[in-house]
Chains A and B, each alone.
Chain A
Amino acid sequence: MSDLDIRLAPAVQRQARLWSLWRQMPLSFRIGSIILAIHFIVAATGPFWAPYGYSQMGAGPPLSGMSLAHPFGIDQLGRDVFSRVIHGSHIVILLSLSGTLLGLVLGAIIGLLSGYVGGWIDEAVQRVLEALISIPFLVLALIAIAAAGTDYAGNPILIVLVVALVYAPRIARMARAAAIDIATRDYVTVARLRGESAWSVMLRELVPNATGVLLVEFALRAGYAPVLIGSLGFLGFGLRPPTPEWGLMISENRALLIIAPSTVLGPGLALASLVVGLNLFTEGLARVLGRTVKLGNQ
């Protein structure tokens, strides 16, 4: 028995430490984390327990509203909207995160290198970034999809690339500002005098010291990615039916708004709660890292 106690002690201690750390986190961070955790669990496990398939017709009487068996109602084709929302969860989350991650990697590399190297290269890069930022992001996303042509329309990889294209210039601008600040530090000068290449300085000195900025930037952008993907789906330029993407579902069921509002409000609730979770998480994270963050679409 005493043997067991000794072995348990560090584990219990660690648990207590984690708990007290959790208690110290800002409230917004805690609420955001809980909302996100629920979304992630639903996304990962949902396809296994959703009552109906995402394109399974005949789940109930078409156009019926909320009921216990069908919390979000039944759409025009007789599909259970709740099941579709559950099935769509991992699609929305995966596309948002991978698009933002790709944008973060591209943006960080461009921004950090450009800020560190400076000179005319930096000036030229900045102009191009500013030009890309001057096109409203939804408009930029739409023309990128138009440029890809009909063959790639509705391809999830295209959506990931479009999210990355929209975010990379905005993230690069933040990364550049961080790089200019970090580049003045002594350890960067030392690395340069050691003869390290710009790429290696970026990887070893700039990236580790810009983690805070990049982390907040990632969370902030990831929070808006579901909205961007949803807007594209809503306008008919995102994923193709019968994919249960939430924006697409809202657009499909919009005609049923008056008869069965829950078919629109259900996916809407899923989308809005995911974004609320991400926003709260970001705000909390920023506060923990001692940064200010402006939530929003800019």
Chain B
Amino acid sequence: MPIVLLVVRRTLLSIVTLLLVSLIIFSMLEVLPGDVATRILGRDATPESLEVLRTELGLDRPATVRYLDWLGGLVTGDLGKSLVSSRPISEILAPRIFNTLLLSLYAFALYLPLTVIPAMLQALTRDRAPDHALSVVTLVLLSMPDFLLATILLLTFVLWIPVLPAISLVDASSSWFEYLKAMTLPALTLAIVMAVYAVRMLRDNLIEVLDSDYVRMAELKGLSRARVLLRHALPNALVPTLNVTALNLAYLIGGVVVVEKVFSYPGFGTLLVDSLQLRDLPVIEATVMIAAFVYIAANLVADIAAILLNPRLRTG
């Protein structure tokens, strides 16, 4: 069956890409000219401490052996140990990934209404004042760096509506309410950044659908405006927006880096920035691999869904 072949081919390509990512990351961080130990410790390091670090990283072995070793570890789930804390990386990563996953789910929950409501409002008031005003707002938000948006939200909520904490520190002992409060501002930032792309697209799609014959038909049948909008127009306009949502997922993986850092939220992004600051090579490599893995997996799922949903491919 060709459809199975398509899916298998697409999956294999993803695996090749992932292997290439691991090769690129490893060569950027460990094979580039210059001594890795000196790059981590800086020029002023003593020869003794450099030697200790070299042994710890196994730098005396050839690069290909180290790469295969590291790759083997990745595949079997052994991510190695942190240089700074000597704890196994999987132990450090697990709670961070959990926190980021929770944050992402929250952000997506806010993303939906933040996309659908402004877009519907714009489509209904097409070319009138509210439509233009919202267009300007989305353009400005689109042009605003996420760290700036996060900072402004922080200012607004902490200074003028002081209900949410400025610093989103949570740990395993936090109650779910504390979690929710801590996550609200970072999630809102991520949701707004994601929503602005989708709003612009959904508005155009909605306007196109509202002009179509079947919506006219529904109106002429005497259905209520709300029913026409919610049952007939919206579902059809939403389908093309799914693509943007897949792109937004890709944004989210990079976006959490900055946004978590702004709010000191102990997630995966903060871990990456912190380990970059500490030059904790094994942790950096592991986090970047996971980010790339999520991105590639998300794309793979989206493409397979597109293959399965496409009737032309289904019959072929």
Contacts and interface: CB of A to CB of B under 8 A. Distances in A.
Interface in B222-253: 247, 250-251, 253
A268 B148 contact: yes
A64 B234 CA distance: 50
B277 interface: yes
A73 to B, nearest CB: 14
Chain B interface bracket (under 10, 10 to 19, 20 to 34, 35 or more): 35 or more
B250 A275 contact: no
Nearest to A276: B143
A227 B145 contact: yes
Nearest to B197: A296
A210 interface: no
Nearest to B193: A297
A116 interface: no
A127 B17 contact: yes
Interface size class of A (residues with CB under 8 A): 35 or more
Nearest to B42: A150
B30 to A, nearest CB: 9
Nearest to A141: B254
Given A150-B43, A296-B142, A139 B291 contact: yes
A57 B279 CA distance: 33
Most B C-beta atoms less than 10 A away, residue of A134, A137, A230, A294: A134
Interface in A116-162: 127-128, 130-132, 134-139, 142-144, 146-147, 149-151
Interface in A256-298: 257-258, 261, 264-265, 268, 271-272, 275-276, 278-280, 294-298
The binding surface of chain A is classed by DSSP as helix
Interface stretch (B61-69, B149-157, B184-192): B149-157
A30 to B, nearest CB: 15
Given A136-B253, A143-B29, A237 B276 contact: yes
Contacts of B272: 139, 142
B17 A143 contact: no
A258 B261 CA distance: 18
B20 A127 contact: yes
B284 A272 contact: no
B25 A231 contact: no
A264 B158 contact: no
A239 to B, nearest CB: 15
A250 interface: yes
A236 B278 CA distance: 12
Given A131-B21, A149-B39, A279-B139, A136 B250 contact: yes
B261 A235 contact: yes
B142 A295 contact: yes
A295 B295 CA distance: 20
A131 B28 CA distance: 13
A295 B140 CA distance: 12
A272 B148 contact: yes
B269 to A, nearest CB: 9
A3 B288 CA distance: 72
Given A127-B16, A127-B20, A136-B254, A268 B28 contact: no
Interface of B: 13, 16-18, 20-21, 23-25, 28-29, 32, 34, 38-39, 42-43, 139-140, 142-148, 151-152, 154-155, 158-159, 197, 247, 250-251, 253-254, 257-258, 261, 272-273, 276-277, 279, 284, 288, 291-292, 295-296, 299
